[in-house]
Amino acid sequence: MVDGDPIFKSGSVLDYSDYIDQEESETPFTNPNPEGGAGNVMDLTIPLSLKCKYCGATTKSIDNGEIDLHVHLGAGYRKFKVFSCDICGWWEIHLAHNWYRGYEYECGRITHTAILRRFDPCDLSLPVDILSHHLTKHQETIYHIAPRKMEELVQSVLSDFFDCEVSLVGKSGDGGVDLLLLHSDKPTVIQVKRRQNPNSKERVHLIREVLGATLLSGYRRACIVSTAYEYTEPAKKTANSAVESGLLSSFELIDAEAFFRMLNCIVPASTENWHPLLENLKKKWGE
C-alpha cells in the first residue's frame, strides 16, 4: 500500500516525468503466407490492465488508439494504450506495430515506463516545474515548501501569467522586496509570504511594511502574493488608501485562492506527464 511505503510518505512531491524504454521486435523477415496478410508471427496483444510498479494499485487504460500505416506500398498498423495510476500518478505507454510488403514483414512492441522521483517539499533542489504540476492536484503542499522556493514559484507563475520579466531580488536585509516584475516598462515590487497555516490572514502591518519598502526603493507599484486565506478589511483599506492618495499607482493583494487560479491557467491539471510523449509519438507516426 502507498501509505506504508516510505517513498510515498505524506507530503512528498512525486514526479513521473522521466521514463525508460523497453523494445522488443522482430526485424524484417520473409512472411511464409503473404497472401493471407501478415499473420500472427509475434503476439502484439496489449493487456487490459496493469499493476502499478510503485504502489501496487490496479491501473486501467485511459487512452488508446490505432493508426493505419502505408509504408512504401506496404501496409500495417500501430496501436497504443496508456495506463495511469489514480493513486500515485505512475504511468506506462504500450505501443505495438506491424507492417508487411509482399513477403517482407516486421513487427514489434515498445513500452515507455515512468520512473519515480520523490522530493521533500522543503528541498531547495525541487524543480519549480515539477512543483507547479504537483500543486495543481495537491494545493496543500504549498504550506510546506521553503520560503525561498515559494519566491521561485511566484516568479515562475507571474512571469508566465503576465508574459513578462520577473527578477528574483530578495535576500537578507532586502527591506521587503522579493521580486521585481517588469511589464510594459512599469516595474512592480512584489513581496512573497509563505504562511504555514492555510487559515491565516494578512494584516495591516504587512501592507504598511510593503508600502514603505516600495517608496524607499523608488517604485510606484506594489503587490503582495501570500498563501494566506485572505487579507483583513483594514489591510485592504490601507492598500486602497495608498493608491487613492497618490502614494502608489497600484497595490495588488493576491491571496492563496487567487494565486492558484493563476497557476491553473498556466499549468492545467489535465496535463499529465505522459501526454507530451504521446503527442510526439503521434506526430512521428504521421510523418
Contacting residues for 42 by C-beta, under 8 A, at least 6 apart: 26, 98, 107, 108, 109
Q: 3-class DSSP state for residue 221?
A: strand
What's the distance, Cα to Cα, between the start and end of the chain in Å?
43
Nearest Cα to Cα of residue 126 among 145, 98, 139, 106: 145
Q: What is the pLDDT of residue 100?
A: 72
Residue ranges of domains in the chain, CATH in brackets: 6-119+272-285 (no CATH), 138-266 (3.40.1350.10)
Percent of residues, the chain, with pLDDT higher than 70: 81
More confident: 210 or 6: 210
The residues facing 187 across adjacent strands are 182
Contacting residues for 33 by C-beta, under 8 A, at least 6 apart: 39
Quick check: 271 pLDDT over 80?
no
Q: What is the pLDDT of residue 116?
A: 93
Contacting residues for 6 by C-beta, under 8 A, at least 6 apart: none
Instruction: Give the span between the Cα atoms of 147 and 34, in whole angstroms.
Output: 66
pLDDT tens by residue, 2-15: 444 555 555 789 99
Instruction: Give the span between the Cα atoms of 30 and 60, in whole angstroms.
Output: 36
- The model's pTM is 0.81
More confident: 172 or 192: 192
Instruction: Give the span between the Cα atoms of 19 and 164, in whole angstroms.
Output: 32
Q: What is residue 198's DSSP assignment?
A: T
Select, from the ranges 6-15, 220-229, 261-270, the one with the highest average predicted confidence (pLDDT): 220-229
The residues facing 162 across adjacent strands are none
Average pLDDT of span 33-42 = 50
Contacting residues for 206 by C-beta, under 8 A, at least 6 apart: 191, 193, 224, 235
3-state secondary structure 228-258: CCEECHHHHHHHHHHHHCCCCCEEEEECHHH
Quick check: 261 pLDDT over 70?
yes
Judging by DSSP bridges, how do beta strands 179-183 and 58-69 pair with one another? unpaired
| Angle (deg, nearest 10), helices 256-266 and 128-135 | 110
Q: What is the pLDDT of residue 195?
A: 95
More confident: 9 or 139: 139
Q: What is the pLDDT of residue 43?
A: 62
Cα distances from 159 to residues 155, 156, 226, 262, in angstroms, run 6, 5, 17, 11
| Residue 185: pLDDT band with limits 50, 70, 90 | confident
